[in-house]
Structure 1
């Protein structure tokens, strides 16, 4: 009898440990896709750690390829699979490449265009553009956070997704930004959309 109880307890522990989005006490957390370039500065790493803790407190389970999930297939295939299992996406567009001296529309010869200065700006990773676009195409709620100094082009350009794309400054502590009124408003709005997707997923199609 004691042996049977021990085996049952072990099976229960294993069933919790392998199930995605389950905490050690068996509580479910909503899986969301967290997209960000690999941090190259400690303050970027700290921002992600604080953001993940914040999301966990709101009963979300952040998932990031090659951090929480691993897949040996092509990256786009792995990303698509993870997104199909998620209910929303947050992208953090960190600084990645510094442009010490750069010019937009360099040597343009079109009268309606002008050169513009990009000295001292930053580019983020291409994945910070690709992953939000993929999520948008399958109807996931998307929120993009852009580190100050990163060029607001492509999907980072205001109005592209019709959503607010806040800029954050890592010269301050991560918890300071996550305590601002702007962040509280954005996370409430995004969370509401995510909960809506979660509630509707799996429902049969309706013609009215």
Structure 2
């Protein structure tokens, strides 16, 4: 991770919860919520972006449509908008869209800053 300049994660649907409840019988008075028919992704889609974020690296997460937005997958959790991709639609069209071009250009700009700063001596102020 220390040799990286940025991280891209794709949160594909991996595990389907057929029937479930979030926060059942919570002691702190939070309301229960339904988790039935929700998709989870790999735990590495939480771990690796968190590691990169701790190091100050730019993180871009693409979430497959239907994946539960939890932890770093919540919109705005890491600062960059997390686009949702629908594998049932034409991905080439999405990757030509204004939304995608703006997101990837913004992330690329952050990566370029990391590359530039790696060659500079540390600054105290």
**How high is the TM-score relative to the length of structure 1?**
0.57
Which of the pair has more CA radius of gyration?
A: 1
- Identify the residue that residue 147 of structure 1 maps to in structure 2: 64
- Identify the residue that residue 42 of structure 2 maps to in structure 1: 125
Secondary structure of the structure 2 residue equivalent to 1:135? helix
Q: Work out whether 1:197 is the aligned partner of 2:114.
A: yes
- Identify the residue that residue 24 of structure 2 maps to in structure 1: 106
Q: Which has the higher contact order (CA 8 A, sep 6+)?
A: 2
Structure 2 portions without partners, runs of 5+:
none
In structure 2, how many angstroms separate the alpha carbons of the residues matched to 1:108 and 1:174? 41
- RMSD of aligned residue pairs (Cα, Å): 1.4
Structure 1 portions without partners, runs of 5+:
1-82
- Identify the residue that residue 68 of structure 1 maps to in structure 2: none
Q: Work out whether 1:173 is the aligned partner of 2:66.
A: no
Structure 1 residue ranges (4+ consecutive) displaced by more than 4 angstroms after TM superposition: none
* 1:19-77 residue CA offsets vs partner (Å, 9 max, x unmatched): xxxxxxxxxxxxxxxxxxxxxxxxxxxxxxxxxxxxxxxxxxxxxxxxxxxxxxxxxxx
- Identify the residue that residue 34 of structure 1 maps to in structure 2: none
Q: CA deviation at 1:146?
A: 0.8
Secondary structure of the structure 2 residue equivalent to 1:145? strand
Higher percent of residues as helix? 1
